[in-house]
Amino acid sequence: MIAPNVKVLTDGYNYGNNLALNIRQINVAASEDMPAGTYTSIAGNKATAWGLIAAAHKVGKRLFLGSYPITPATDIMHELAARKDMGVMVIQAEDEIAGVCTAIGAAFAGDLACTSTSGPGLSLKSEAIGLAVMAELPLVVIDVQRGGPSTGLPTKTEQTDLLQAIYGRNGECPAVVIAASTSANCFDYAYEACKIALENMTPVILMTDTYLANGTGLWRLPQLENLPAIHVQGVPEDLKGHYNPALRDERSVRYWAVPGMEGFEHRNIGLERDAEKGTISTNPENHERMVRARQAKINGIADRIPELKVIKSNSENRASNSDTLLVGWGSTEGHLHAAALELGCDLVQFNYIHPLPKNTREVLSGYKRIIVCELNTGQFAAYLRSQMPDIPFEQYNEVQGQPFAVERIVNFVKG
């Protein structure tokens, strides 16, 4: 009778360890910050799917997902495929490349177009994402990160796709990169990804990961009328009869005409276009003008996203660590917040990564010691250094396929 009991204990331990349940006991007190409403527990992948649905209904567009199954992102496709009753169209393509290309076609046709994947699939989609950047079409790409490279640790969590998301395409190919930080706010940032894509005619890459995708969080059921407005980029009526896909507004965002609009017929291509006529161009000065216009569009989004907020510690130890700042991005927020409370220092958690919030330098320059903590070998730290080379950053990194342990962060900071 000993062997079965040992097996139960061993299997139970492994189950908890694989789900990152090996944490200390915590006490959850009543919160005055939580608004009244109906709450439920929701997994990150399901929250992501519902954020996409909410955005589509907010703007009255059909939601299209072109995708291919891959751990740990497949549940997004499953959830959306079950929502035909809400006008969602899902195509399970033959591979990752076909999935994103069907989504680009749907975007050209005027749908709210999305594709979901993990790190290996993001690599395969990179050329097509470049097409969406060049054609300046709204596209939402969801990357549910996992351990890598290659097939790596497909059921474990990491934050190792960040530089791929920011830079991993040929040519000068800027796209927006944002990240969810809790299983519940996967809904909010999926919605935000759609908003940014539709308002700025650009691909948006939403970063989540295995920890968020399979974990659950407390989620307040939203009311559609209370969600932020989405102002879909359209085309002025006075361009009827002489519209071309290079024409853009004062924000450097090109106008969006879709097939079937009489008087706005056009072709959209992956070759460089003339900045005035929209026709194919190999002119050197024109190419530089277009490269800078596409980048200016992304840079300008910093003026329309929330500023970076500092999470202040209320710990009695705060006075001794008031010049120390923990910096994180994405799913590490809970662990870093717990560490900051124990250390008595401040925390900033980035959800908007490319472009960075416009007050980033102002916030970071107010601290003597800045420690960037991430589940990789230092990708976000390297990115911050490239943007602000005069600010010194320390790093705390783990690449174990597991979330952070609060104790290890605390011990590192204390030295």
Q: Average model confidence (pLDDT) for the chain?
A: 94
Span 305-327, pLDDT tens digits: 999 999 997 666 555 678 999 99
Distance (Å, whole) CA 12 – CA 10: 5
Check residue 158 and give its pLDDT. 97
DSSP state of 215: S
Strands laid side by side in the 369-374 sheet: 346-350, 324-329, 369-374, 394-397
User: What are the residue ranges spanned by the domains of the chain?
Assistant: 39-226, 237-304, 318-414
Span 248-296, pLDDT tens digits: 999 999 999 999 999 999 999 999 999 999 999 999 999 999 999 999 9
Give the three-state DSSP class for 141.
strand
Number of H helices, E strands in the chain: 13, 13
CB 99 within 8 A of CB 68: yes
Confidence grade of residue 21 (pLDDT, cut at 50, 70, 90): low
DSSP state letters, 236-261? -GGGTTS--TT-B-TTSPBP---TT-
Distance (Å, whole) CA 77 – CA 205: 16
β-pair type (63-67, 176-179): unpaired
DSSP state of 311: B
Q: What's the rounded mean pLDDT across residues 168-182?
A: 98
Q: Which CATH architecture has domain 318-414?
A: 3-Layer(aba) Sandwich (3.40)
Check residue 103 and give its pLDDT. 98
Give the CB-side neighbour count of residue 206, counting CA atoms within 13 A.
Answer: 36
Check residue 390 and give its pLDDT. 97
| CATH fold label, 39-226 | Rossmann fold (3.40.50)
Dihedrals phi, psi of 54, to nearest 5 degrees: -60, -40
Write out the two tokens for 322: 């008031």
Span 77-116, pLDDT tens digits: 999 999 999 999 999 999 999 999 999 999 999 999 999 9
CB 93 within 8 A of CB 68: yes
Q: What is the pTM of this model?
A: 0.92
DSSP state of 170: S
DSSP state letters, 18-46? HTT-----------SSSPSS-EEEEEHHH
Residue 25 has pLDDT above 80, yes or no: no
Sequence-distant (6+) residues with CB within 8 A of 205 are 122, 129, 141, 142, 143, 165, 175, 176, 177, 178, 193
Distance (Å, whole) CA 211 – CA 146: 9
Confidence grade of residue 156 (pLDDT, cut at 50, 70, 90): very high
Domains 39-226 and 318-414 are alike in CATH topology: yes
Element (H, E) at 123: helix 119-135
Check residue 36 and give its pLDDT. 83
Residue 40 has pLDDT above 80, yes or no: yes
Check residue 320 and give its pLDDT. 61
141 forms beta bridges with 115, 205
Q: What's the rounded mean pLDDT across residues 367-394?
A: 98
